[in-house]
Amino acid sequence: MHGNKMILAIDVGNTNISCGVYDGKELVTTFRLMSRQAHTSDEYGVLFSELLHMNKVDKRAIDGTVVASVVPNVMHALNGALVRYIGKHHLAVGPGVKTGIKITTDNPREIGADRIVDAVAGYELYGGPVLVLDFGTATTYDLVTADGCFCAGITAPGIRISARALWEDTARLPEIEIKKPKSILAQETVSSMQAGLVYGQIGQTEYIVNQVKKETGYNDLKVVATGGLGRIIADETDVIQIYNSQLTLEGLRIIYEKNS
For residue 181, the Cα-to-chain-centroid distance in whole angstroms is 26
CA distance 205 to 197: 12
Element (H, E) at 231: helix 230-234
Give pairs for 254-258: CB < 8 Å, separation 24+.
254/100, 254/120, 254/121, 254/124, 255/66, 255/91, 255/93, 255/97, 255/98, 255/99, 255/100, 255/117, 255/120, 256/7, 256/9, 256/64, 256/66, 256/91, 257/5, 258/98, 258/99, 258/100
Query: In the chain, what is the greatest distance between 2 CA atoms, to the nearest angstrom?
Result: 62
CA distance 70 to 246: 18
Catalytic choice (114, 118, 134, 142): 114
Residue 142 is a catalytic residue: no
| Residues catalogued as catalytic | 114
